A and B are shown apart, each in its own frame.
Chain A
Amino acid sequence: MNKLFIILMLFAVSISSRGQAETLSNTADSLLKTYQNSVFQVQLIETQSGKKSAIGSAFLIADNQVVTNFHVVSAWVHNPKLYHIEIIHQQHGIIKVSLQNFDVINDLAVLTADKNLSSRTFALADVLPDQGDKVFSIGNPHDYGMMVIPGTYNGITANSFYQRVNFTGSINPGMSGGPAINEAGHIIGVNVATAGNQMGFLVPLTHLQTLLKSTSVPLKHSALKGKIEQQLLASQNRFFGEILATQWQTSQLGRHQIVTELTPYVRCWGYSNSDKKDALFEASEVNCRSQEQIFINPKLRTGNIEIEYSYIKQDSLNSFQFSQLLKASFSGVAPGNAAGKTDVSNYHCQQDIITPPPEGYQKSLYCVRSYKKYPQLFDVLYLAVSHSSNNQDALLSHYTLAGVSQPNAKRFLRRFIEVVK
């Protein structure tokens, strides 16, 4: 599981030093006064019970246009009949809004109100802050009321494909979709996630600009599903386009050639059992994964990649016992992303003995599951054991790709089999 991007589910405690708080609070106070009618709480109302089922924050960007996170309103996007969306305006009270546009990859949504809200709109910043600049995040954490949270702008997250801005300040559940502004009160990002301990994340301004440019007429209900699929397809095309265009850097594990950091977004970790004196075999593992996932609904995350290797060399096992070890290592493989029954089909698998390394054999398993609502997208899973003919050592290689198109999955499979020997 991706620990970094547990979307606004972690509780963090904000502690700031006193001296800093004083200077900041002046600005914070005036900012909140200026914009109190321009930041709202977003509620997703479940139609049957008439009560809210999700909350978030939102801000005014044009006379009747409001920006929030996609994940705040995702339940409506998947089931428009079961919910409706409201914002709470300080003066006008509850206002019904409808979804005008969204960007599932960057977790943004544009809402539009039936009437002109006649409040001060936020302007987008012309220049991005420098690293270390003071910025403010506004939102309604845990439904406790609108708050201004001071923090520091720390640039784009490292090793990230779906880029985020590091905001060193407390972002808490309920603040999702709220604005992050500079001291002049201009938008520099949108609150989106936290990793706890003052590690907040913002959607970068450029993604908001791109989305607003392409926003014109409200979306029809029938177009929602297709739009998500189209955005996911475009995103994975860009992702795998980049990965497949580069020459993969290889490294050595045991007697085998493996590929680890195929892009900067994929980070690897290592482990071996050499500290275990009584082990009857040597095992060294390399686990690589991309740090980010795309939120589609609470049960479905996608857009990530995992690669794992394990090199096993036997010390004092006989060849049958070595086979049992391989059997245990080969079983129980799991996907790298969460998906439920309503989202994906069961896996369909093929297994075969394929052309071996110079000697020995390779047993390969390839499994595919389809997204029920987005039929052009798949989760795929590959697992292989390259076994030496003398039953002395073996390499387990495994990867999972989440939310990939058939052509990209096939190209990746071919490339992986070619490179990992």
Chain B
Amino acid sequence: MSFVIQVFNRSDRVIAEHKFTQKPVTIGRGFNNDLRLTDPHISAEHARIDLDANGQLYIQDLNSLNKTKDCFGGQVSRNIIKSGDDFYLANTRIRVLSLNHTVAPAIKLSALEPLAERLTSKKLTVFLFSLFLVGFVLLGYFNQFEKFELKKLFNPAVQLTLSVFMWPVFWSLLSRFFKHEARFFGHLNTLLLAIFTTQVISFVTYLLQFNALFTTAWWLDYIFSIPLVACTLYLSLYLFGLTDSRKRLFRSALFTLIFFTLSEISQGVNIRDFSPTPEYTSAFLPSHFLIRPALDSEDFIEQSESLYSAAQQTAKDE
């Protein structure tokens, strides 16, 4: 009867897998063993796996110094093995499996994979990053009203580039740690695309504010930015190698929640309940961005009536 022994490292990853047909199989640090383990805590002759009279696999400790234990910590003298059982030889975990042990069903290749392939392209990085720098300079040019000097943008551009690169570096290190594919450019491209989307969203918000559709629009940002952050994380987790789509969904939702909760708290800490100056948005664009019909000034005056009672009410409540 053949069987398989898997050897695990301390972070529960399989580091070796051996298939045996002969029996008995001896395990130990000595060179004469069938399965040799180099952990210094393992005795030269540590344990043995064999068939008993009924054709049942069993494991026997060979009076080792640090003993053989089952997965519950019970000491093994001579134990019957069921396929998939774990044993500890000193600190080293092994698993014994029969050849017909059922494996987890295959995971369907994700629909995200073609997207991930395209995202990981270096050409795309070159394109997106050029776009990013050009956009940075253009925004710098249009968002000021003093004499424009390109050189003044150099230091901010370097700082921004470095901070943008923190994201793929972070994911690559994480992937190295978990022995996954790094997909550095995939993560970089994801972030750049997210930044572009943010820019578009903030322009739309600004356009709405310019048209005086909102006096204060704190919630408008959330409507767009929460899904954006969640999507970015979802994609990044896929690139990182989290293949289980349910886990991915759950974790991206969880991290998004944590992110926004923390940022809310950090903002909430700074909010003062009284401000001697009014809070309002100040958004201006060239006049052809005006998409809303103007209000009659008389209506503006009449509408202001409600402000007095609202102010009186807050004064009373406080």
Binding site for B on A (CB under 8 A): 278, 280-281, 317-328, 330-335, 338-341, 344-356, 360-372, 375, 378, 381, 385, 387-391, 406, 409-410, 413-414, 417
Nearest A residue to B138, CB-CB: A320
In the complex, the answer to whether A335 meets B280 with C-beta atoms within 8 Å is no
In the complex, the answer to whether B284 meets A413 with C-beta atoms within 8 Å is no
The stretch from B144-152, B245-253, B259-267 touching chain A is B144-152
B163 at the interface (CB under 8 A from A): no
Nearest A residue to B285, CB-CB: A323
B5 at the interface (CB under 8 A from A): no
Instruction: Give residues 260-294 of B contacting A (CB, 8 Å).
Output: 273-287, 290, 292, 294
In the complex, the answer to whether A323 meets B290 with C-beta atoms within 8 Å is no
| A354-B297 CB under 8 A given contacts A344-B315, A391-B286 | yes
Number of cross-chain contacts by CB at 8 Å: 164
* Alpha-carbon distance between A325 and B275 when the two chains are bound, in angstroms: 25
**Which 5 A-B pairs give the minimum distances between C-beta atoms?**
A347-B278, A370-B311, A319-B286, A341-B274, A331-B282
What's the dominant secondary structure at chain B's contact region?
Answer: loop
Instruction: Give residues 98-156 of B contacting A (CB, 8 Å).
Output: 142-147
* Alpha-carbon distance between A410 and B211 when the two chains are bound, in angstroms: 24
Chain B residues, Cβ within 8 Å of A351: 212, 215, 280-281
Instruction: Give residues 302-318 of B contacting A (CB, 8 Å).
Output: 303-305, 307-308, 310-312, 314-316, 318
B218 at the interface (CB under 8 A from A): no
Nearest B residue to A385, CB-CB: B284
A229 to chain B, nearest CB (A): 13
The contact size tier of chain B is 35 or more
18 A-B residue pairings within 8 Å (CB atoms) = A278-B147, A319-B286, A320-B142, A321-B142, A324-B144, A330-B282, A334-B277, A346-B279, A348-B314, A349-B280, A352-B300, A354-B299, A366-B304, A367-B307, A369-B315, A372-B318, A378-B308, A410-B304
In the complex, the answer to whether B305 meets A353 with C-beta atoms within 8 Å is no
Chain B residues, Cβ within 8 Å of A361: 287, 290, 294
Chain A residues, Cβ within 8 Å of B284: 323-324, 326-327, 330, 363, 385, 387
In the complex, the answer to whether A280 meets B300 with C-beta atoms within 8 Å is no
Known: A321-B145, A325-B145, A361-B290. 15 other contacts (CB 8 A): A321-B143, A324-B284, A330-B282, A335-B277, A344-B315, A348-B307, A352-B300, A353-B212, A354-B294, A355-B296, A355-B297, A366-B304, A375-B315, A414-B298, A417-B297
In the complex, the answer to whether B144 meets A417 with C-beta atoms within 8 Å is no
In the complex, the answer to whether A349 meets B316 with C-beta atoms within 8 Å is no
| A345-B297 CB under 8 A given contacts A320-B285, A352-B212 | no
Chain B residues, Cβ within 8 Å of A280: 145-147
B295 at the interface (CB under 8 A from A): yes
What's the dominant secondary structure at chain A's contact region?
Answer: mixed
In the complex, the answer to whether B315 meets A372 with C-beta atoms within 8 Å is yes
B293 to chain A, nearest CB (A): 8
B223 at the interface (CB under 8 A from A): no
* Alpha-carbon distance between A66 and B273 when the two chains are bound, in angstroms: 42
B162 at the interface (CB under 8 A from A): no
* Alpha-carbon distance between A320 and B145 when the two chains are bound, in angstroms: 9
* Alpha-carbon distance between A348 and B212 when the two chains are bound, in angstroms: 15
Chain B residues, Cβ within 8 Å of A369: 278, 311, 315
In the complex, the answer to whether B314 meets A370 with C-beta atoms within 8 Å is yes
In the complex, the answer to whether A355 meets B286 with C-beta atoms within 8 Å is no
Per a CB cutoff under 8 Å, which of A321, A364, A390 touches B144? A321
Chain B residues, Cβ within 8 Å of A278: 147
* Alpha-carbon distance between A325 and B278 when the two chains are bound, in angstroms: 20
A241 to chain B, nearest CB (A): 19
B15 at the interface (CB under 8 A from A): no
Nearest A residue to B146, CB-CB: A280
Nearest B residue to A417, CB-CB: B297
B158 at the interface (CB under 8 A from A): no
